[in-house]
Amino acid sequence: MAVTETIWLALVWFLVFVSSTVLHEASHAYVARMLGDQTAYLGGQVSLNPLPHIRREPFGMVLVPLLSYALSGWMFGWASTPYDPGWAHRFPRRSALMALAGPSSNFLLVLLSGLAIRVGLATGLLVAPQYLSFAHVVSAPGGGLIEAGATLLSVAFSLNLILCVFNLLPLPPMDGSAVIQLAMSERAARAFQQMLRQPMIGWMGILIAWRIFGNVFSPIHSFALSALYP
């Protein structure tokens, strides 16, 4: 792969990662504000401007994504949205809806990019590639700007599917660990919140999630690709 192509692909991954992560965190913040917690709003997180989010998590939003791409060819990172633990304790179902908002935004981007790919395939602007990868879900026969758009759509589809599935794992500190409070009584949810605040629980959750993610993601990824190419 030429150096210019490598730089271009890294730039696409980074732009998609930042924009997708910003939408994820802004969705958390917006829903929290709508449901009574102003913490993230006062911190500037109800915004699609990446700067407030990067200032809060520069390591997870800039350094780690670039390093992970250099080492593995795809991006991994994180961001965070502040919230009031007292509010979450008083309203566990509201905090669960706040947690669900982030992965839901990524799922919406999967649907939108998938729809754009299907339209491109139907019109002949895009074609199925000779091989499939995260950055090569669809291709363009003419090259040029359309090929650049195909790469952008491919990365948007793949990365947002990764973000959605990973964040919905029911393990702390992923959003899925809070979402499952929707299935609990308020008393049980409050006790569950207390348990999740233990730092060791969070580290264990990250290690388990990292170990099982491939097995969880693979069939979901295959299903998503089969929806694009039935």
In sequence order, the 6+-apart residues with CB closer than 8 A to the CB of 185 are none
In 3-state terms, what secondary structure has residue 131?
coil
Q: What is the pLDDT of residues 204-217, one digit of tens each?
A: 999 999 899 999 99
Give the per-residue pLDDT at 1: 58
The dihedral through the CA atoms of 15, 18, 23, 26 has a sign that is negative
Q: What is the pLDDT of residues 13-48, one digit of tens each?
A: 999 999 999 999 999 999 999 999 999 999 999 999
Q: What is the pLDDT of residues 62-116, one digit of tens each?
A: 999 999 998 888 888 999 999 999 999 999 999 999 999 999 999 999 999 999 9
What is the DSSP annotation of 152-171?
A: HHHHHHHHHHHHHHHHTSSS
Q: Which is more confident, 6 or 16?
A: 16
Give the per-residue pLDDT at 6: 83
Give the per-residue pLDDT at 204: 92
Q: At what angle do helices 199-228 and 186-196 cross, to 10 degrees?
A: 110
Burial of 162 (0-12, 13-18, 19+ CB in 10 A): buried
What is the DSSP annotation of 18-87?
A: HHHHHHHHHHHHHHHHHTT--HHHHTT-SSS-HHHHHHH-HIIIIIHHHHHHHHHSS----------HHH
For the chain, what's the residue count?
A: 230
Reported pTM: 0.94
For the chain, what percent of residues have pLDDT higher than 70?
Answer: 99
Q: In DSSP terms, which residues pair with 17 in a beta bridge? A: none
Q: Which is more confident, 121 or 142?
A: 121
Separation in Å, CA 195 to CA 85, 186, 188, 204: 13, 14, 11, 13
8-state DSSP, 1: -
